[in-house]
Amino acid sequence: METKDSNLHSLKVAYLGPPGTFTEQAAINCYPLATLKPYSSIPDTAKAVLKNEVDLAVCPIENSLQGAVTDTLDALLHQEGLHIRGEFALQIEHTLMAKPGTTIKEIQIIYSHPQALAQCRQYLSTLGHIELAAALSTAGAVQQVLSSDTPSGAIAPIRAAELYGATVLKQGIQDDNNNYTRFVTLAKTDSPQSGNDLTSIAISFSEDRAGQLSFVLNEFADRGINLTKIESRPTRLGLGKYYFLMDFEGHRENEEIAKLLTTISEQASLMKIFGSYPRMA
């Protein structure tokens, strides 16, 4: 993703830490000259923008194998004032690592972020009855392993092994090499029109009436606007109540998109515009 922010030395960018996570690598790729600040969770990473601790936050939002990263979606839904400023993708390669001197056969427990564990399910099943434990981040899992007295392993980017002095036991253990994570940059404002943009919104309905969602979807078709993604998240207001999150082509300042958004807002009980931003190449 190229933005006007990309080469500013003074830019402060939050990411899910500690150093050595895939999110840090994504932030380095996109903002190589920025000052990077690690946070212990995705919600805290997003809040750092609202607290003016950073200018931007880089957060994973979707994986090609496991789908949505719900912590990021929930931050957009429930933290007022966040906008998507840009998007970009990173190919994911998972590496099994351990404390120096530990072999694969000795490992009793493997730590990693839940998404990483899920993306390596096939390989992990070949290791027998090894306990799997969730960590807040992949790099945090490496730190946990290095401080543990129990023979254990971590699944993390290979950079984490280099940073913390872990021994690499096996590279490329992900189930599918076509493994990409889509990241978004969160800020207090979105981006101006680039000519090749996406807009992300969320809507919900106060009453459960037949045809409500169908009406909204037909608006996209009738106006010739390409809807690229739709998914649902619970509203936290009871069973069966959902937000519908949508990505579609175009910028909210475009006349036809603005008319679409007005029509949708009249049909939905709630509409949040997460932002318009340049579409990744």
* CATH number of the domain that residue 251 is part of: 3.30.70.260
What pLDDT score does 203 carry? 96
In this predicted structure, the answer to whether residue 1 has a pLDDT above a threshold of 80 is no
Mean pLDDT of 223-235: 95
Of 10, 24, 33, nearest to 157 by C-alpha is 24
In this predicted structure, the answer to whether residue 209 has a pLDDT above a threshold of 80 is no
Same domain, 23 and 84: yes
In this predicted structure, the answer to whether residue 65 has a pLDDT above a threshold of 90 is no
In this predicted structure, the answer to whether residue 5 has a pLDDT above a threshold of 70 is no
What pLDDT score does 76 carry? 96
CATH number for the domain that contains residue 106:
3.40.190.10
Same domain, 72 and 183: yes
Same domain, 38 and 68: yes
Mean pLDDT of 226-255: 93
Q: Tell me if 192 is assigned to some domain.
A: no
Same domain, 79 and 130: no
pLDDT band at 226 (very low <50, low <70, confident <90, very high): very high
- 197 touches 250 (CB < 8 A): yes
- 205 touches 269 (CB < 8 A): yes
**Domain closes at, from 152, 187, 222:** 187
Q: Tell me if 5 is assigned to some domain.
A: no
Q: Tell me if 76 is assigned to some domain.
A: yes
What pLDDT score does 211 carry? 79
Same domain, 183 and 75: yes
Same domain, 219 and 110: no
213 φ, ψ to 5°? -65, -40
What are the Cα distances from residue 253, in Å, to 32, 81, 155, 179?
30, 18, 43, 33
Same domain, 79 and 183: yes
**Domain closes at, from 156, 187, 218:** 187
Same domain, 85 and 183: yes
How far is 20 from 234, CA to CA, in rounded Å? Answer: 32
Q: Tell me if 273 is assigned to some domain.
A: yes
Percent of the chain clearing pLDDT 90 (strictly above)? 87
Indicate the number of domains in the chain: 3
How far is 25 from 90, CA to CA, in rounded Å? Answer: 8
Same domain, 247 and 270: yes
Q: Average pLDDT over the chain, rounded to whole?
A: 93
Same domain, 159 and 111: yes
What pLDDT score does 238 carry? 79
What pLDDT score does 2 carry? 43
Q: What is the pLDDT of residues 133-181, one digit of tens each?
A: 999 899 999 999 999 999 999 999 999 999 999 999 999 999 999 999 9
Q: Which two tokens stand for residue 254?
A: 């475009």
What pLDDT score does 9 carry? 66
Mean pLDDT of 188-215: 91
Q: Which two tokens stand for residue 134?
A: 């969730």
How far is 198 from 109, CA to CA, in rounded Å? Answer: 42
Q: Tell me if 68 is assigned to some domain.
A: yes
Q: What is the pLDDT of residues 94-111, one digit of tens each?
A: 999 999 999 999 999 999
Mean pLDDT of 111-136: 94
Q: Tell me if 6 is assigned to some domain.
A: no
What pLDDT score does 206 carry? 82
Mean pLDDT of 64-76: 92
pTM for the structure as a whole: 0.88
What pLDDT score does 237 carry? 81
Same domain, 82 and 183: yes
What pLDDT score does 240 carry? 80
Same domain, 67 and 183: yes
What is the set of active-site residues? 181, 183
Mean pLDDT of 16-20: 93
**Domain closes at, from 144, 163, 187:** 187
Q: Tell me if 3 is assigned to some domain.
A: no
Q: Which two tokens stand for residue 84?
A: 């998507």
* DSSP result, 121-161: HHHHHTT-S-EEEE-SSHHHHHHHHHT-SS-EEEEE-HHHH
pLDDT band at 129 (very low <50, low <70, confident <90, very high): confident
Q: Tell me if 245 is assigned to some domain.
A: yes
Q: Domain range spanning residue 215?
A: 197-278
pLDDT band at 8 (very low <50, low <70, confident <90, very high): low
